[in-house]
Amino acid sequence: MSSGSGCQPQALTKPALGEKEAAELVDRVFGLKVSWIGPLPSYDDQNFHVRVSRDRGTAGGADEYVLKITNSEDSREPDLIEAQTRAMMFLNAEGFPSATPRLTKDGTIMSLESASGCGNKKYMVRLLTYLPGTPVAKIATNAQIFYEVGKLAASLDKALSEKFHHPSAKSLHRGQFIWNLANVPLLDQYIYALGQNKYRDVVEQVIEQFKGKVIPKLSSFRACINHGDLNDHNILVDSSSASSQHPQYRVSGILDFSDMSYGCYVFEVAIVIMYMMIESPDPLGVGGHVLAGFESILPLTAEERAALFLLVSGRFAQSLVLAAHTALLYPENQEYLMVTARMGWKHLMKMFEVGQEAVERRWFETARAYVTPA
């Protein structure tokens, strides 16, 4: 869900290619004939699900890809897009279910292209393997999948931080990147998008408490590379059991690395908790299962645990404020932009109504039960 690499989400940078033009792009850049193409939802990039003929000129079979056309603002930073793509390739080689790029006709992993009808803007284009599975947002979630996603988040960040050494990784130091959890205070400049209401009051409380209680502690949190957007639409699962009443899920795909940046391990678990809350009928109960999965790989320190409530609240604030802001820029994309907001406001208000102490007690008791079951 990135919105440019700086602190200012950019206006009118989202590509707007038609299906015919996108199909021609696949042919021209990758040398593949499109047999079918359809749009995929996106925040400020443009994505298409593409099927192509396996052999040029033959009718048999098809391969599936995602054509990813990066917004014109982020396309100005090829090192950053290369870092994201190389990280996906690295993770795939390490056994994670991440996409890999199809090389262009010139043998490169991406290409900067102009699009007719889009002025002088240029967009970075990649063709990524299509991953099978169902988004977490479309299944009946349970404790097992929350645990698995928490475990995945820790494993992924740990692998990136300890083994990913590509030269492009230095571009992941994105100091003012608005979606990095360290930058919750930057929301002050976008909060106008909420208007004047009780929701704005809660967000202002989150920002002020974040400034006072989290920012001074940042240096004590362990640093790492964050995926940064392991939300309910970016994690694909499939069922590994025959039981329809009690399905066991495994993660089959990890999508959208455009919010990658250097951050902290505790940021990732907070982000996952927040997005998994959206998909649960018992949102305040989610955190303990995610935390247990995460800590099965990487136990949090006392300082990191103490910040968890405000970090989860901070991610709610980021998602809700920036969705409202971006919906003003792209009213035609409002339905997708506000998908988290439908339940997000309700959950954030509930967290503050119940209070930090009670919410944390429930999270930590649930997580402890995984280690010392009754």
What is the rounded distance in angstroms from the CA atom of residue 135 to the CA atom of residue 119? 35
What is the rounded distance in angstroms from the CA atom of residue 245 to the CA atom of residue 102? 39
Instruction: Specify the DSSP class assigned to residue 261.
Output: E
What is the rounded distance in angstroms from the CA atom of residue 286 to the CA atom of residue 265? 18
CA neighbours closer than 13 Å in the CB half-sphere of residue 326: 29
Contacts of 70 (CB under 8 A, 6+ apart): 15, 45, 81, 123, 124, 125, 126, 258
Residue with the two structure tokens 């284009």: 125
CA 50 vs. chain centroid, Å, equals 22
- Supply φ then ψ for residue 14, to 5 degrees: -75, 130
According to DSSP, the residues that pair with 37 across neighbouring strands are 50
Listed residue (212, 43, 236) closest to 133, CA to CA: 236
What is the rounded distance in angstroms from the CA atom of residue 309 to the CA atom of residue 66? 36
Listed residue (331, 291, 326, 292) closest to 311, CA to CA: 291
Catalytic residue among 229, 232, 256, 259: 229
Task: Yes or no: say if 51 and 26 are a contact pair by the CB < 8 Å rule.
Answer: no
CA 73 vs. chain centroid, Å, equals 18
Listed residue (149, 136, 146, 150) closest to 238, CA to CA: 136
Residue with the two structure tokens 């409002």: 334
Identify whether 229 is a catalytic site residue.
yes
How far, CA to CA in Å, does 175 sit from each of 6, 11, 131, 186, 327? 8, 20, 31, 11, 25
End-to-end C-alpha distance for the chain, whole angstroms:
40
- Angle at 268 (CA atoms; ends 266, 273), nearest 5 degrees: 95
Give me the active site residues, please. 229
